[in-house]
Chains A and B, each alone.
Chain A
């Protein structure tokens, strides 16, 4: 536990601070604070999941700018998968499978073919936007609702309970996914190998690590998380599919990933920060407490992010080999 805090000092401090402030507001206005936090966390969930996709890829040396397209494809697949099979759980699996396939595509293009990684990602985005729009069929509805699950005991905690522990499956899983990714990257052999591949692939290769293989596996598996994010958006958050459903969240997730310094806990903190400032903006618009045009109120999350980054966080360093294809010498 102490190690964990030491390793993640900035995110832990940020999250702690947010928690304290949130509870202060909670005692002032229980209902509003809870609902604003629910909005904020709901907004953050796909960003966090998508940021994990980016982090796993880049920690292994593969830039993934195609998260937006991966999510969109998965959202499309999970929705129409549910409609066709008549079962949302099968739909969820189809969505995750679509994410895996999209991850696999990026892996093949960027790692096996050594294609320019950013181009590979852009191709995914364009293909996804085109296909999901071209094959979209209107008038379909989900066969059933995604149930809301309350985790016993935890969901009874004031404020935190209803926000984090009374949710749909993907939103519930997200917290654990972040912890798992964080643990896997920093505490397992796989993580060590992945990071070495992302920082110094030729040294990793010399040490007997199969650079191409580990990159292929990681990028493909990360696609499954993009699948979760897509399925969350279509099945849990919107309950429907619309063209362009992801609405730029994949790009925002890249910003969150960098904001969080390529660190899962950092990305969680960054996404929460962004989600909460978005929620706050919408609440300010609803309450009309300040007489500012809504266009300016809604700039809050973007401006706050820029200010925080330029004042507090400063320079962060991406994994050294991110973006560079690796060709084995000789």
Chain B
């Protein structure tokens, strides 16, 4: 019985200790933005930005992280308050958004195409809140929802064009995440670009088998990249979150990485997000997620944001240290293609 009392005593002591420290509470999410709080978001002079991730976390080196960085930077720039919630169950999208709408946040960024439907529903119920849907195509225009969408096929096309010009073996590879729309657009764009640059090129395309971890399996990505390398592919496009990152890291280990073997990253400039890949990373097929999200948050702040779709920019990342490995004529040709894609004179021809 004595033991039971000790146990109870310890528990109470722990709780009391914890309670005493309550004054100093400071949270990770709040530290990341201006030192306001969200108690008066409804007030006109305050500007509160909330972000709901798709399944996954804000440090995923991929789209959640980019949108998070963009939204956080924009909120800080205009003196707003920023907070995020990481979704752990796709059925919670609505509830996670409600956390922010309940506190009358001004802007809610929702990340990922899976959230499109939930975002529109929440927007209709909260007409005074602006919603920014990253990767969410808007079929019908809702005044307070802006879908930030990207022509992924164009980024893929430009990357493929570069690869098609640079390959010595005429064999290219793609190590991809799950076979879903944005990934398919990257992949088909890459193949189209490569074939446009070099008619003799063959592109090996392998998607991760359907599984819950299709975008988080670097072990598989690395093994697949190794296989494609030994079958003669000399430039490989790794597109698929952690799975693609595994491929990039593996290629960086290969003999000749940076001179005869190259890899191409995806979504953001992976020179910074996956430093292990630097030996082989010639460029990344980029979606301007950070800039796009930041721009829309700022537009929401100054009131210039419009409903419907907002086309973000895509393009190729800097060549960084491998610029010397890319011949000048290739660089200029690729620059032409990027410009042509932008002004619409070059079409990728990709349809899903």
Say yes or no: B223 contacts A42, CB within 8 Å.
yes
Question: With A247-B211, A286-B204 known to touch, is A145 a contact of B253 (CB < 8 Å)?
Answer: yes
**Complex contacts, B207 vs chain A, CB 8 Å:** 285, 294
Say yes or no: B216 contacts A141, CB within 8 Å.
no
Among B210, B230, B250, B275, which residue has its beta carbon within 8 angstroms of that of A31? B230
**Complex CA distance for A233 and B232, rounded to whole angstroms:** 25
**Complex contacts, A32 vs chain B, CB 8 Å:** 231
Say yes or no: A286 contacts B205, CB within 8 Å.
yes
Say yes or no: B253 contacts A239, CB within 8 Å.
yes
- For chain A, give the interface size range: 35 or more
**Complex CA distance for A283 and B227, rounded to whole angstroms:** 9
Q: How many Å from the CB of A62 to the closest CB on chain B?
A: 27
**Complex CA distance for A42 and B226, rounded to whole angstroms:** 10
Q: How many Å from the CB of B180 to the closest CB on chain A?
A: 12
Say yes or no: B206 contacts A238, CB within 8 Å.
no
Q: Which chain A residues (108-164) contact chain B, with CB distance < 8 Å?
A: 136, 138-139, 141-142, 145
Say yes or no: A282 contacts B222, CB within 8 Å.
no
Among A38, A145, A238, which residue has its beta carbon within 8 angstroms of that of B246? A238
* CB of A14 within 8 Å of the partner chain: no
Say yes or no: B210 contacts A238, CB within 8 Å.
no
* CB of B276 within 8 Å of the partner chain: yes
Q: Which A residues lie at the B interface, using CB under 8 A? A: 31-32, 34-36, 38-39, 42-43, 46, 136, 138-139, 141-142, 145, 233, 237-240, 242-245, 247-248, 279, 281-283, 285-287, 294-295, 298
Among A36, A46, A145, which residue has its beta carbon within 8 angstroms of that of B227? A36
Q: A240-B246, A294-B179 are in contact. List 10 more A-B contacts (CB 8 A).
A: A32-B231, A35-B231, A237-B219, A238-B219, A239-B246, A239-B249, A242-B217, A282-B224, A295-B209, A298-B210
Say yes or no: B223 contacts A237, CB within 8 Å.
yes
At the interface, is chain A mostly helix, strand, loop or mixed?
A: helix
At the interface, is chain B mostly helix, strand, loop or mixed?
A: helix
What string of 1s and 0s marks CB contacts (under 8 Å) between B21-47 and chain A?
Answer: 000000000000000000000000000
The 10 closest A-B pairs by CB, nearest first: A298-B209, A138-B59, A238-B218, A35-B230, A239-B249, A242-B242, A286-B204, A39-B227, A237-B219, A35-B227
Say yes or no: A239 contacts B250, CB within 8 Å.
yes
**Complex contacts, B226 vs chain A, CB 8 Å:** 35, 38-39, 42
**Complex contacts, B227 vs chain A, CB 8 Å:** 35-36, 38-39, 279, 282-283, 286
Q: How many Å from the CB of A8 to the closest CB on chain B?
A: 28
Q: How many Å from the CB of A131 to the closest CB on chain B?
A: 15
Q: How many Å from the CB of B265 to the closest CB on chain A?
A: 14
The closest CB in chain B to the CB of A294 belongs to B207
Say yes or no: A243 contacts B219, CB within 8 Å.
no
> What are 23 A-to-B residue pairs whose CB atoms are below 8 Å?
A35-B230, A38-B226, A39-B227, A42-B226, A138-B61, A141-B276, A237-B219, A238-B246, A239-B246, A239-B253, A240-B246, A240-B249, A242-B218, A242-B245, A243-B216, A244-B216, A245-B219, A247-B220, A248-B213, A282-B224, A285-B206, A286-B227, A294-B207
The closest CB in chain B to the CB of A148 belongs to B253
* CB of B306 within 8 Å of the partner chain: no
**Complex CA distance for A38 and B225, rounded to whole angstroms:** 12
Q: How many Å from the CB of B248 to the closest CB on chain A?
A: 10
**Complex CA distance for A243 and B275, rounded to whole angstroms:** 18
Among B57, B209, B230, B232, which residue has its beta carbon within 8 angstroms of that of A34? B230
Q: Which B residues lie at the A interface, using CB under 8 A? A: 57, 59, 61, 179, 204-207, 209-211, 213, 216-224, 226-228, 230-232, 242, 245-246, 249-250, 253, 275-276
Q: How many Å from the CB of B28 to the closest CB on chain A?
A: 12
**Complex contacts, A43 vs chain B, CB 8 Å:** 223
**Complex CA distance for A303 and B345, rounded to whole angstroms:** 48
Question: With A247-B211, A298-B210 known to touch, is A242 a contact of B231 (CB < 8 Å)?
Answer: no
**Complex CA distance for A247 and B242, rounded to whole angstroms:** 12
Say yes or no: B205 contacts A142, CB within 8 Å.
no
Q: How many Å from the CB of B54 to the closest CB on chain A?
A: 14
**Complex contacts, A287 vs chain B, CB 8 Å:** 204
**Complex contacts, A31 vs chain B, CB 8 Å:** 230-232
**Complex CA distance for A247 and B212, rounded to whole angstroms:** 9
Q: How many Å from the CB of B174 to the closest CB on chain A?
A: 9
**Complex contacts, B250 vs chain A, CB 8 Å:** 239
**Complex CA distance for A233 and B221, rounded to whole angstroms:** 12
**Complex contacts, A138 vs chain B, CB 8 Å:** 59, 61
**Complex CA distance for A160 and B249, rounded to whole angstroms:** 25
The closest CB in chain A to the CB of B276 belongs to A141
Say yes or no: A247 contacts B216, CB within 8 Å.
yes
**Complex contacts, A145 vs chain B, CB 8 Å:** 253
**Complex contacts, A283 vs chain B, CB 8 Å:** 227
Q: How many Å from the CB of B261 to the closest CB on chain A?
A: 15
The closest CB in chain B to the CB of A284 belongs to B206
The closest CB in chain A to the CB of B58 belongs to A138
**Complex contacts, B218 vs chain A, CB 8 Å:** 238-240, 242, 245
Residue of B59, B61, B217, B223 contacting most chain A CB atoms (<10 Å):
B223
**Complex CA distance for A239 and B222, rounded to whole angstroms:** 9
Q: How many Å from the CB of A272 to the closest CB on chain B?
A: 15
**Complex contacts, A294 vs chain B, CB 8 Å:** 179, 207, 209
